[in-house]
Structure 1
Amino acid sequence: MCHQQRRVRTSTGTRREEETMAKSGLLFFPRTAETVVTAARQMESLGYDLLGLADTPALALDVYVGLTLAALNTSRILLGPCVTNPVSRHPTVTASAVASIDTISGGRAYLGISGGYSGVHNLGLRAASTTSMRHVVPLLRDLMAGKAVAVDGGTVQIAWARRPVPIFLAASGPKGLFIAGQVADAVFVNVGLLPDLVAEAVGHIRRGAEASGRDWRQIEIWVMGVASCAEDAHQAIEEVKGAAVGIASYVLSGNPRDKAIPRGMEEAVARMCRGYSTRQHLQPGTNPNVVLAEELGLMDYLLERFALAGSPEDCRKKAQALEALGIDGFLFSVSASPDLYRDIRMLARALGTGEQPS
């Protein structure tokens, strides 16, 4: 196994040469029970560190049913919703569900959370504000530790819960990254895969931690993106297009000054975000969202910024450039993959997650 030693970043944010390579995780939609069980077993056997299931009720099975299946069919890998939100599920319900997964799995749960996207919009709801996460994360932590907390004018306690499961906050803008540095145990940095953007994001996390008197080096930093890996690099790139548009429609929405959008692309990006259909979110194959991005001339940029795609060698080179920043882990979505098991296998080879079967 590759990831037996916890990395400790130096004051400059770089990792020491003797420390191990970054951890690796994949997230996907729990489309069927068979998919969850097979993928979870495959990921564990190939040495992945973390498995995430999307919480998107209109597009996939219930996330906690899926996590229960994964927990009962694995023994080592970390498991969690990736990501849930505080809108479609009350924080107490989420805390109880994640604490339940932690119990079932023997202490292997984590909680991934953000303001919400497809899991909220497809229910006709609005995402939680970025600022609200400053309150939501500590609330969830206390609930999972079995503490009595004030919620909506009353007092709530999950009396049987005992462990504050690690909370990963997904963040993409300066404010969200700053808040993540203030309150989260770990951060899913969702700004893309360009090293300069990731380095800038880490700076926001560091400033948030320091503003709250925390040691930012104790916060795990995981870089998010979408991925597709095949011996045929062209095939992998074609297959990841829908996922690249999907993640971009979320990350690049809002104030363009906070999104590092290249000059001259602002209007095209805004049109893409306005026209994006969350009902087609991360669906395999060519869908209207892909057509829209291609018509707007954005696809090459979206692939460069958000996707790890191509042959194992191509993917390895892009990952190594990010690993040099001293990040703790990679989290790649393979939700739109038409061949999930191939991507799990090929990405393990690209990321060096463990010994590969012959």
Structure 2
Amino acid sequence: MSKSIEFWTNFTAMDPRDAANQARQFEQDGWDGAVMVDSQCMFTDVWTYLALCAQATDRIQLGTGVTNMVTRHPSVTAAAAATLQLISGGRASLGVGRGDSSLAYVGASPQRVNEFEHFLEVTQTYLRGDAVDMADASAMLVGAKVGFDNLAIGSAPEGSRVKWLQQYDMAKVPMEVYATGPKVIAAAARHADNVMMMMTAAPARVAWGVGIVRDAAAEAGRDGIGIGCAMMVVPHDDLQTARDLARPQVASQARFSVMNKRVMGPATPSQTATLLNIADAYDMNRHGSVEGAASAHADAADDDFVDQFAVVGSVDNCVERLIEISELGVDRMSLWLPYARGEVSARSYDLLMTEVLPRVRAA
């Protein structure tokens, strides 16, 4: 491997009372960072969860994977992320996306791309401690009476900002956008500190995304943008066992590439057909469920598709695949673990930590 790459993973402990223990374990195991999902109707509160993790650890970076900018006002999200940065000693990361299950479970679709890009810019302004125009800030509120007419207020705030940031000498929280489509990837390259591509493990798709990031960043006159990719990685002695363990989340992650029933990014005819089948069959009621292998969308992801869109199987195969992807221009790899808990997933994790990652890091 020509350069140092950070390896992150996802928290799988659903009970926040188990968060600290898993965070300590991840830190002990050598992960560079770990993220927790923000989906208020499916999981407990992400910021409380990450705060518990921060208090239990000293080194590992902690972030949302991901939150959105609709269910919370950008100032609220920025303040929460900055608070985590403060209590963790500078280890926070704000991972954002257009919203999926967090919006679906309140009857909404992902945020429009042009609106999303503007919210990225506004959130970065809050994270820097700078002022957002008051009219812009109030326009992002739902159901609020805008303005100060008939209110007992002599001097209104001149702008909307996270004022308390001025009290602390700490680095700005890096904002990371999780993206799949070309428009969102480009928007992330223009405004975010890092771009995490949910392109799965197909090298052609990762390379395509890296190219978009580089072109959009160059056009915007930006450099130093971090580029990462997220994928399921499930080593196991038995290939079929690995496939079955990865399948539910592979289908969930693949759906982002066909969110609007149109395949985004390079795909073979077979991959295109499978992606469209996943889109047609997707059952949001089973989203994120460890029993997802019994769902229609997981069943639509056949073995060949899982082999291509995830890293599964023998240690040698997993090492070879990860090294191949690492050479495509990424500086972070987020290796997602199955939410299933048991002897099978424990064996997979053991192989990942004791055999796969040491060999990949040494390559």
Both structures adopt the same fold (TM-score exceeding 0.5): yes
The aligned amino acid for 1:40 is A
Which structure ranks higher in relative contact order (CA pairs < 8 Å, sequence separation ≥ 6)? 1
CA distance in 2, matches of 1:259, 1:351: 28
| Deviation of 1:268 (Å) | 5.0
1:205 aligns with 2:250: no
Structure 2 CA distance for partners of 1:269 and 1:199, relative to 1, 3 Å: closer
CA RMSD of the aligned region, Å? 2.4
Cα distance in structure 2, aligned partners of 1:343 and 1:44: 18
1:261 is aligned to 2:279: no
Q: Tell me, which stretches of 5 or more residues in structure 2 are unaligned?
A: 140-146, 148-158
Q: 2:268 is matched by which residue type in structure 1?
A: P
- Fraction of identical pairs, as percent: 26
CA shift for structure 1 position 342: 5.1
Preserved contact between residue 243 and residue 335 of structure 1 (Cα < 8 Å): yes
**Residue 120 of structure 2 is aligned to residue 137 of structure 1:** yes
CA distance in 2 between counterparts of 1:164 and 1:156 reads: 17
Distance 1:103 1:277, change over 3 A: same
3-state DSSP of counterpart to 1:258: coil
| C-alpha distance in structure 2 between counterparts of 1:210 and 1:77, whole Å | 31
Give the deviation of 1:345 after TM superposition. Answer: 3.9
Q: Paired residue for 1:168, among 169, 172, 176?
A: 176
* CA displacement at 1:62 relative to structure 2: 0.8
Q: Deviations over 1:115-142 (max 9, x none)?
A: 0111211222221122223212221122
Q: After TM superposition, list the pairs within 5 Å mapping 1:209-358 onto structure 2.
A: 209-215=217-223, 218-254=224-260, 256=262, 258-263=264-269, 266=272, 269-289=275-295, 291-294=296-299, 296=300, 298-339=301-342, 343-349=348-354, 350-352=356-358
Q: How many angstroms apart in 1 are the aligned matches of 2:12 and 2:89? A: 23
Q: Distance in 1 between matches of 2:313 and 2:323?
A: 14
**What is the match of residue 157 of structure 1?**
161
Deviations, residues 80-135 of structure 1 (Å, cap 9, x unaligned): 11110011111111111111111110111010001011121122222112222321
1:197 is aligned with what amino acid?
Answer: R
For the residues of structure 1 that align with 2:260 and 2:66, how far apart are their CA atoms?
20
Deviates more, 1:260-269 or 1:105-114: 260-269
Does the CA contact (< 8 Å) of 2:12 and 2:338 recur in 1? Answer: yes
SS of residue in 1 equivalent to 2:325: helix
Is 1:26 matched up with 2:26? Answer: no
Question: What code does the residue aligned with 1:221 have?
Answer: I
Q: Is this contact kept in 2: 1:46–1:353, CA < 8 A?
A: no
Distance 1:253 1:328 in 2: 26
SS of 2:312 mapped into structure 1: strand
TM-score (norm 1): 0.85
Please give the alpha-carbon distance, in whole angstroms, between the structure 2 residues aligned to 1:125 and 1:280: 17
* Structure 1 gap ranges (5+): 1-14
**Cα distance in structure 1, aligned partners of 2:55 and 2:212:** 38
- Report the equivalent of 1:9: none
Q: Alpha-carbon deviation of 1:314?
A: 2.6
Deviation at 1:251, TM superposition (A): 2.3
Q: Structure 2 vs 1, CA of residues 331 and 69 (structure 1 numbering), >3 Å: closer, same or farther?
A: same
Q: Secondary structure at the match of 1:352?
A: helix
- Tell me the SS of whatever aligns to 2:164: coil
The alignment of Structure 1 onto Structure 2 pairs a total of residues equal to: 333
Aligned-pair CA distance for 1:247? 0.8
Matched-pair contact (CA < 8 Å) for 2:236–2:313: yes
Q: Does the residue aligned with 1:165 lie in a helix, a strand or coil?
A: coil
Q: Structure 1 residues 51, 344: CA separation in 2 closer, same or farther (over 3 Å shift)?
A: farther
Whether the 8 Å contact between 1:23 and 1:328 is mirrored in structure 2 is yes
Shift of 1:269: 3.0
Separation (CA, whole Å) in 2 of partners of 1:319 and 1:348: 14
Structure 1 window deviating more from structure 2 (79-88 vs 310-319): it is: 310-319
| Structure 1 contact 226–240 (Cα < 8 Å) conserved | yes
User: What one-letter code is carried by the residue in structure 1 that aligns with 2:160?
Assistant: V
8 Å Cα contact 1:50/1:78 also seen in 2 = yes
Q: Secondary structure at the match of 2:69?
A: coil
- SS at structure 2 position matched to 1:61: coil
Shift of residue 209, structure 1, vs aligned partner: 0.6
Q: Which residue of 2 is the match for residue 6 of structure 1?
A: none
The TM-score normalised by the length of structure 2 is 0.84
Does residue 50 in structure 1 map to residue 36 in structure 2? no
